[in-house]
Amino acid sequence: MSARRILLVEDEPTIRTAVRDALRSQGHEVDDTVDGGEALRRATQHRYDLIVLDVMLPGVEGFEVCRELRSQGNRTPILMLTARGSEDDRVRGLSLGADDYVTKPFSVRELLARVDACLRRHDWGGGTAKLRYLKGEGLEIDLDRQESLLDGANASLTPKEVEILRYLAEHPDRVVSRSEFLTSVWGYPSGSRVVTRTVENTIGKLRKKIERDRKDPQVVITVHGSGWKLGEGIRPCDG
């Protein structure tokens, strides 16, 4: 199974740590939080392949998180962690739109098996196809060879600038935040509190090379207060 992005919501530290480490040992990228409200925010801002969600949480409880996400039209698979022997919990979770549940206490092996099954059932497809070219707004970019043309002239993008475009193209139709860029493109540890304008500065330089009008960017669009997304006019293509 290829690496996926998983949101883990669990307030008990020992379980959270054990589950997080187990998922990471399988190569998955794991965000974790102890709080239902924070879970809702993250699940709304980012696209996850799976949410592992405890029922009993401080603040907004797991059922409410599940119900709210489904009412927003969010179809991300949800695996609930329910209390031992509580049939009510299981039925309630499933009726609110959870995909599966694991009963506490569970073994790490059992959990990983459920996670795999859940991911397999909800294979998004597409996510594994490797992007090669980006075209539009006067640009032709070969992501693998790192060759870039703007209106036929060499745009001379650096490898980092190409990686920014690749990352945006791999996560279409959503906003990529500064911290996500720092983690995914720059390789900072997840959750590190870095105060830096590296991302802004790099995107500023990138725009000088790829935007026909820097005052009106059409390729890397700023979403104020949130991050960046790829413009409508530039899309991946096969050749």
**Residue 11 makes contact with Ca ion by CB under 5 A:** yes
Alpha helices in 106-223 (DSSP H): 108-121, 159-170, 178-184, 198-210
**Distance separating alpha carbons of residues 90 and 100, to the nearest angstrom:** 8
CB of 8 to Ca ion, least distance (A): 12
Which one of residues 31, 38, 49, 54 is an interface residue with Ca ion (CB under 5 A)?
54
Q: How far is CA 161 from the centre of its chain?
A: 20
Of 67, 231, 46, 63, residue with least CA distance to 137: 231
CB of 74 to Ca ion, least distance (A): 22
Burial 14-33 (b: 16+ CB within 10 A, else e): ebbebbbebbeeeebbbbbb
Q: Whose Cβ is closer to Ca ion: residue 11's or residue 140's?
A: 11
Q: Whose Cβ is closer to Ca ion: residue 11's or residue 64's?
A: 11
Q: Whose Cβ is closer to Ca ion: residue 17's or residue 226's?
A: 17
CB of 178 to Ca ion, least distance (A): 31
**Residue 163 makes contact with Ca ion by CB under 5 A:** no
Stretch touching Ca ion by CB under 5 A, among 4-12, 42-50, 98-106, 194-202: 4-12
Task: Give the three-state DSSP class for 155.
Answer: coil
- Residue ranges that bind Ca ion, judged by CB under 5 A: 11, 54, 56
